[in-house]
Amino acid sequence: MPRRPLLFDRWARNRSICPSCLHSLQRKAFFHQRRTTTTTSYKSATKKQLSPGHESSLRPSAEELKGYMAEIKELQRATAQRVTAQRAPTQRAATRKEAPSEEEDQVSVRYFEEDEEKRIELEDEQAFDDSLGKFDGAEFKDLLHNIKDALGSENEKESFQSVIRELCGDVDSISSLEDIEKLVARSDVYNKEIDAQLEEKLVDLPPDLADMVREQFASLDEIEEDEEDDEDFDAPPYHIPKNVWKRAHRKKVERLNNILTSVNRDLDRGHRIKKSTVTSVYKAYSIARQSLSLAWDKVPSGAWNLLWKVLSVDESVHIRRMSHMSRLARDMMTAKVSMKPAQQLLAMEAIFVDGETSVSVKNWRKSIASLGKVKSPLYKEFWELGVHMFCRLGQVDEAMYAAEKILVKRLDPRILMPIIHTLSEKATDESRDRAWELYRRMRTLLGKDMQLADYDQVISHFLTTHQTENALYAFVDMMFDGSIDLKQRKGMPSVVANKYFLGKWLKRLIGAGDLDGAWSVVEFMRSKGVSAAPIHLNGLIGAWQRSGGADDVEKAERLAWAMVESRIRFVARRRAAAASPGKANYVPEQPPPWPAATNETFSLLAIAYCIRSLREKMLLLWDAFREAEMSGDAFVMNQLLESHIQAGRHQEARDMYQSLVVEQEKATPDPYTFSALWKTLAVNRLQVLPARMLAEATAEARQLFKETVRFRHVFSPPDGMDGQLARKMLHTFRILDDRHGFLVALHTLDSVFNFVPSETLAIELTIGTTRLQWDTRSRRRALLVAKHDMDRDLVAAVDRGRPVDNAAEAADQLQGRARSEALLRHLRRKFRPALGSDDELAVHGAEAARQMGVFDLLGFGSAEEK
């Protein structure tokens, strides 16, 4: 039956034909004399009988297709010979370059590409390889024209043109190898249609004539298969032969061959295997796997080895390594491929991890005689695999048998670690005692080689299986190097039964992230009468909160409130003792109470409630804070203030500050306290401040500024006044249009808090906005005007009365304190009240300074005396 035109095989098979050879070979190949056979006469007779109409006469005959194929074959043979001859000197030169002698150290290889008109030198070997393998749409189009020109009659040319239009459509749209592959697929469909139509017509012919036609078409397929056999004969060792499979499967096999060729080339160049490489190889193998399964024995060992090398790369690159290796290993076993010892070991592990435990264990037992013998290079790895597999299956005796094989050779005693873990998971006293004995045996065998990581692993096994007592004994071994054996003591010595020793253990567990283990240790030691210090419990609470899990957050809250209640009970007993000194009689509790909460405990709860916007719980915490009679803590107070602000209760926030700091004097504010308080002012909360509220808002702002100045010591260096807080103060007085208050605040920030506004802040204040924007023409103009005005004032401080060409450049000459003073003068000029004489302004300024608490600080008092 009609074959696929070899016209498309040239690119679909990804063959490399040197462009410099193509033009010189095409003419000779295409005008090569076509062979004629007896098929010509039969086909001509058949065509006359089957194609009475003009439309069917345009379809190519079998002889025409055969002619196309013969011509393309001749082209491919000629170009292959020419490319081989051309690349041989290059390969020899490259070989000399890879292994240079002393005389050939300076030898270099140059690469060229030429056509009929010119020669172009390429940069390097990579560019040469790309030139050989790249797809040229113009070349493909020229090839079609050459084939058409090589045809004899006009009828043949019209038939060829009809085929190309039906398969390709617009030839200019063919621009990549993917387009060629699609073209090949369409040609297969087209061939099947011809087969079907031909069979319909052959039914009307005499049987002898029909059989002869079929034999002639079958001979064409045999020619192609013979040529493919020649290709497979010269293929690399990893190349999978295509002629073994039927035509429907060859495309999948060919795709896998192309991928393997690309990967092998990268490996030869020393490139590392990447994740994308592994993905592409496994994808191609998965697609071709069903086709390969029809003849596993035809897959060469080189292909299996290359697949194994790529898919067995480390899990940091290949995250699904075990799953993919399991499938590959099972296929190799089905194909009866001989595997190396290391491959056998990895195959057993992969199949076991993938779920085929019985198959893996069976293969492991069969390999004892070979891989498990003493002289085997994989002796240790083989028996370690057995230990891990039997531990996963819960077969401790089998695991111990394999472990003894390692211990008898005095290899790593840490092989007992998985057995200890397996025994610890069994909820029986016998298994747990046996786990402890194996731990002691491992410790004895390791001796000084026992590392802290080994202790941590054993302790983790005990804690996760609720063996807190054994975990304590192991931790004591680690801390005292085995000098104290708690197993032989009835009680804990004082060096162990104290909060400092417990704190070391908790710190280690929390640092390792074992929060559940730390909690079990806290409860166990508390049952033994040893309470942890509040600082360590606060660390556990914070770790639980940072983990973010719902259960962990609940545990943190429960423990923190238990400590708060303990603090409240302590305060109640203290009050009772103070009221009746002679009647106080404290009875120790068993188990001991939780440690009393500290300011850090309240802070942890406050910040958690503030983040989660739990205002009701924040109020309960505030009541508990007062009931516990805690010393004022700025952090807790700040969290409470933020909670009130988030809830929109700004007056309650100010009242709380008034109660804690001003009236009761139980807390000392910090800079964050005032950052929160300035947000509570109405002028900073409302979009538009009503005129009726202006006087009250001005008084509130001046009063808060006075309170800020009263605690000016909290803004001492190195932190000083925060720039955002100072910015909010100045903008507050600007929005209120309180120019006297603004000037007093500006002078105070400079002289008391050592803060000078930046140029950006100065422009914000003069324009009257808290966000500079230049997205519209009016805003850009306002920015430019404000900047030029500021530059003029700065220039005036440098060149008094002298004209300058560029104000901005002249202003840049002013630096340091002189520039700061010039900025202050600029702002004073911009915000100087427009009405009133100097004496009137001085009176109003002094009154504002008195209300803002800086009358004496700014020297108004001494001025009055003078």
Residues of the chain with pLDDT under 50: 1-60, 75-76, 78-107, 132, 223, 227, 230, 866
Rounded to whole angstroms, how far apart are CA atoms 485 and 803? 92
- The residue among 156, 162, 166 whose CA lies nearest residue 71 is 156
Predicted local confidence at residue 538, as pLDDT: 92
Predicted local confidence at residue 381, as pLDDT: 92
Q: Are 534 and 563 in contact (CB under 8 A)?
A: yes
- The residue among 114, 153, 157 whose CA lies nearest residue 19 is 114
Predicted local confidence at residue 351, as pLDDT: 93
Which 8-state DSSP code applies to residue 659? I
Rounded to whole angstroms, how far apart are CA atoms 830 and 847? 21
For 18, phi then psi, to 5°, come to: -65, 125
Predicted local confidence at residue 12, as pLDDT: 39
Predicted local confidence at residue 645, as pLDDT: 87
Q: Are 139 and 131 in contact (CB under 8 A)?
A: no
Three-state SS for 410?
coil
For residues 208-234, one letter each, b for 16 or more C-beta atoms within 10 angstroms of the residue's C-beta and e for the rest, the string is eebeebeebbeebeeebeeebeeeeee
Rounded to whole angstroms, how far apart are CA atoms 342 and 8? 44
Q: How far is CA 396 from CA 415, 421, 422, 646, 745, in A?
A: 13, 10, 7, 59, 80
Predicted local confidence at residue 176, as pLDDT: 63
Q: Are 438 and 400 in contact (CB under 8 A)?
A: no
**What is the number of residues in the chain?**
866
Predicted local confidence at residue 852, as pLDDT: 93
> 397: which strand partners?
none
- Return the HEC string of 487-544: HHCCCCCCCCCCHHHHHHHHHHHHHCCCHHHHHHHHHHHHHCCCCCCHHHHHHHHHHH
Three-state SS for 395?
coil
Predicted local confidence at residue 678, as pLDDT: 94
Q: Report pLDDT digits (tens) over 592-608.
A: 788 999 888 988 998 88
> 121: which strand partners?
112
Side chain identity at 124, as an amino acid letter?
Answer: D
Q: Report pLDDT digits (tens) over 495-552.
A: 888 888 899 999 989 988 889 999 999 998 888 888 889 999 999 999 999 988 899 9
Predicted local confidence at residue 422, as pLDDT: 92
Q: How far is CA 211 from CA 200, 203, 222, 344, in A?
A: 14, 10, 16, 54
Predicted local confidence at residue 579, as pLDDT: 76
